[in-house]
Amino acid sequence: MSTRSGTTELTRLPGLEVKEVGPALEPSHFIERAPQKRLMVVSGRSHPVLAQRIAGLLGVELAGVDLKTFADGETYCRFEESVRGADMFIVQTAAKPIDQNLWELLIMVNAAKLASAKRITAVIPLFFYARQDKKSRPREPITAKLVADVLQTAGVDRVLTMDLHAGQVQGFFNVPVDHMTAVPMFAQHVRDLGLGDDLVAVAPDTGRTKLAGKFAEMIGGGLVVLNKERPEHNVAKVTSVIGEVEGKVAVMTDDIIDTAGTLCAGAEALKEAGATRVIACATHALFNGPALERIGNSVFDRVIVTDTVPVDELSKPDNVEVLTTSEILAETIHNVFSDDSVSAIFAGENQLF
């Protein structure tokens, strides 16, 4: 024990020293980070025009990404700016070449994942292999399920797509799937054409009857169903027209126009059944093979499609009209980013199957 200035200082054993307690921390001594979110839109090479339209509506510029193909066919990807902590929306659609664009999407997703993006949403206006959603014959794959698996393995946290060939594709994912539809946009466009009151919505087959019924309600018309057979892939034969089309304007609705064989066969059957005019609405305009020639020489007054895949304005016939889906996709992206309701965009009618 020792004495200093009238106070007593105790000598403590080694290891029992008492640490001095400093003053309490003030707010200036630490960093408080409020929740922050950063939206980024990046485009693959499948449909840069649509991606640019979406980004413009959102008021952002497309994020910089270096995409190129090496001489041996390998795809290279590198983001040209930091994506750490970003809410990323990667726009890539199932345009030709399908497999190359799918693999490019997977590489972009993986690059974003490894660069610490906070959430990765794959914006796929036309879903890859959407029509291969079930086994129609023995020893066939369910390729749409395979695509869902590899997207999730690559690191996708969410998928945004439009007018799936069949609703069950959503069940192939363990992550959220936002399913948009162009049907309300088509219905509004048909009403704006002023075609009169004698309208009927036509389902191209029995599997699309429910959707065509919703479309009929939207345009204020009746419902007609085409019964058809498929002897082989991309070949269809209409066997009967179920419903009254005599003296009416028939509006066909479908998800995909591939070679347009089914579409044109249905139009001929409707004309023979007495339809005064035939109009078609389809979301995905693939226009493969003789599709454009068939449509140009068909009985269609108008074929209305969207830009979920690129459509060559110079080669399309005069009776083909293209509507943009950029507003629907941009609004959906904004609501996903803001944690707002997506189904509210369609008043809960985006599940039409």
Strand, coil or helix: 276: coil
Q: Are 182 and 214 in contact (CB under 8 A)?
A: no
What are the residue ranges of helices labelled H in the chain? 48-58, 98-114, 143-154, 183-192, 209-219, 261-272, 291-296, 326-337
Q: Is 228 a catalytic residue?
A: yes
For residues 289, 183, 62, 100, the Cα torsion angle rounded to the nearest 10 degrees is: -30
Pairwise CA distance, residues 195 & 246, whole Å: 15
What lies within 8 Å, CB to CB, of 248 at 6+ separation is 198, 199, 200, 221, 222, 274, 275, 276
Task: Give the active site residue among 228, 248, 271, 316.
Answer: 228
What lies within 8 Å, CB to CB, of 143 at 6+ separation is 129, 132
CA angle 198, 199, 201 (to 5 degrees): 155
Q: Are 258 and 248 in contact (CB under 8 A)?
A: no
Burial classification of residue 15, based on how many CB atoms lie within 10 Å of its CB (0-12 exposed, 13-18 middle, 19 or more buried): exposed
Pairwise CA distance, residues 116 & 157, whole Å: 13
The encoded tokens of residue 285 equal 């305009």
Residue with tokens 């219905």: 187
Active site amino acids: 228
